[in-house]
């Protein structure tokens, strides 16, 4: 076997072509847009790499590419733990432990040169909304941004020595169903009408105001999370501009108490239902027009909850249920959406798990985020439980 760095057009093409070989008989796999993947490795497009570095490799066996991997270091993630921790991601491999081991060895050797003492994977270079975790339960077509792989992938990691840092749960919900818990919705309606509270949908025409409101919520709601990092408002503005075609304004909500922003909720349409119809994964003019046409035909019937945050002072007030109350009215109006995925919530966040269950969510998928300690004498610890 031979390890090959991804550093020219030929190797980049091979990096993107490998999954088509691995999943050629798997109808659940949705090819990602090649452009979106490449943007993740471009410091000019991915701000996480402005103060970081990333490298990719392929492994060849008998002249055929049988695996790929990336490794990366970022200031915002790598130095958020007791020990400097790098990341690996975009791992794809045939069921060949020797090939997987060679990929892991190459990534870890490089991470050691960057001063890392542990590695998490498979994870994304940037936000954990996308490309995060190895799927171990719920082998079905994943929603936009959620990781899909074959069942043997977890074994390749675990046989090498990776351990579960935390489990990630996704829940399915038909928010229009009359069978959802009546008591929950009564409390939600009561909470949504309490004096002093207001609920507003995001509008691009006022995005500068909403960006500032989001940052005010984020600074309080996420500051105690394990890998909290500050966000540049210009990064959010850039993300909104680039994602305008993908977003639904009615799926993004802000909550205010006496005019002060206190909570935020964001959901996105499942674009995988469009990408499935672009088997090449290349976004040329024809495919772009095709996507716009399909979007107008309302072929997207599922949406995915990306993030919800409430500042600590209001985390036990029922705000979360009130958000779902308003969102339910949106879903009833947009009747072509018939499924919502609540994803993902870590096993370290029991409060959010209880909310997803209370609203009527059914546990549908499980991913794992895994960690490998370079020095076996260093103690491995699971992700700490969020208590508040």
Most confident of 48-52, 182-186, 258-262: 258-262
Most confident of 88-102, 339-353, 373-387: 88-102
> What kind of fold does domain 2-169 have according to CATH?
Aminopeptidase (3.40.630)
Q: Find how far residue 254's CA is from the centre of its chain.
A: 21
pLDDT at 226: 57
Residue 347: pLDDT band (50, 70, 90) is very high
Cα angle value 248/264/300 (rounded, 5°): 25
Token pair, residue 215, equals 């940052």
Q: What are phi and psi of 184, to 5 degrees?
A: -60, -45
The candidate with the shortest Cα–Cα distance to 264, out of 223, 220, 302, is 220
pLDDT at 180: 67
**pTM of the model as a whole:** 0.90
pLDDT digits (tens, 9 = 90+) for 162-215: 999 999 999 998 866 766 677 777 888 888 888 999 999 999 999 899 999 999
- Catalogue the E-assigned strands of the chain: 2-5, 52-61, 64-74, 85-93, 118-121, 134-137, 163-173, 197-201, 252-257, 260-269, 302-310, 339-346, 362-373
pLDDT at 357: 87
Q: How do the domains of the chain map onto residue ranges?
A: 2-169, 175-337
The candidate with the shortest Cα–Cα distance to 67, out of 113, 106, 125, is 106
Computed on alpha carbons and rounded to an integer, the radius of gyration of the chain in Å comes to: 21
Q: Rounded CA gap, 230 and 207, in Å?
A: 19
User: Does pLDDT of 250 surpass 60?
Assistant: yes
The candidate with the shortest Cα–Cα distance to 341, out of 153, 135, 171, 195, is 171
How many Cβ atoms are within 10 Å of 279's Cβ, its own excluded?
Answer: 11
Q: State whether CATH 3.40.630.30 applies to domain 175-337.
A: yes
The candidate with the shortest Cα–Cα distance to 157, out of 89, 208, 206, is 89
pLDDT at 78: 93
Of 221-225, 233-237, 285-289, 374-378, the range with the lowest mean pLDDT is: 221-225
pLDDT digits (tens, 9 = 90+) for 264-300: 999 999 999 988 888 776 777 777 778 778 777 888 9
> Residue 58 in contact with residue 14, Cβ under 8 Å?
yes
One fold for 2-169 and 175-337: yes
Residue 224: pLDDT band (50, 70, 90) is low
Placement of tokens 């691009």 in the chain: 204
Q: Rounded CA gap, 65 and 18, in Å?
A: 7
* Torsion from C-alpha of 47, 50, 53, 55, nearest 10 degrees: 50
Give the mean pLDDT of 20-39.
94
């Amino acid at each position: 076997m031979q390890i090959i760095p991804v550093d020219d057009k030929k190797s980049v093409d091979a990096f993107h072509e490998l999954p088509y070989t691995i999943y050629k008989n798997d109808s659940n796999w949705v090819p990602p847009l090649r452009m979106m993947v490449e943007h993740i490795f471009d410091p000019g497009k991915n701000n996480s790499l402005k103060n970081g570095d990333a490298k990719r490799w392929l492994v060849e066996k008998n002249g055929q590419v049988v695996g790929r991997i990336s490794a990366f270091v970022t200031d915002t993630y790598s130095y958020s733990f007791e020990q400097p921790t790098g990341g690996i991601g975009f791992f794809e491999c045939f069921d060949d432990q020797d090939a997987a081991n060679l990929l892991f060895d190459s990534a870890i050797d490089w991470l050691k040169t960057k001063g890392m003492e542990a590695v998490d994977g498979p994870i994304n270079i940037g936000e954990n909304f996308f490309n995060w975790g190895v799927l171990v339960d719920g082998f079905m077509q994943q929603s936009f941004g959620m990781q899909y792989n074959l069942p043997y992938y977890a074994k390749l990691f675990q046989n090498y020595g990776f351990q579960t840092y935390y489990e990630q749960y996704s829940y399915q919900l038909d928010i229009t169903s009359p069978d959802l818990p009546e008591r929950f919705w009564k409390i939600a309606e009561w909470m949504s009408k309490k004096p002093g509270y207001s609920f507003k949908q995001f509008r691009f025409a006022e995005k500068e105001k909403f960006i500032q409101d989001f940052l005010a919520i984020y600074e309080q709601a996420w500051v105690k999370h394990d890998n909290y990092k500050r966000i540049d408002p210009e990064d959010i503005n850039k993300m909104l501009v680039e994602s305008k075609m993908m977003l639904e304004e009615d799926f993004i909500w802000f909550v205010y108490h006496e005019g002060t922003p206190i909570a935020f909720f964001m959901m996105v349409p499942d674009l995988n239902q469009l990408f499935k119809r672009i088997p090449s994964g290349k976004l040329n003019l024809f495919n772009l027009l095709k996507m716009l046409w399909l979007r107008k035909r309302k072929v997207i019937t599922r949406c995915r909850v990306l993030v919800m945050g409430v500042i600590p002072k209001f985390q036990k007030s029922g705000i979360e249920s009130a958000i779902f109350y308003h969102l339910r009215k949106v879903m009833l109006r947009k009747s072509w959406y018939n499924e919502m995925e609540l994803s993902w919530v870590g096993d370290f966040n029991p409060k959010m798990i209880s909310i997803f269950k209370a609203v009527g969510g059914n546990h549908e998928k499980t991913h794992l985020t895994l960690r490998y300690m370079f020095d076996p004498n260093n103690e491995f610890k699971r992700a700490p439980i969020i208590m508040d």
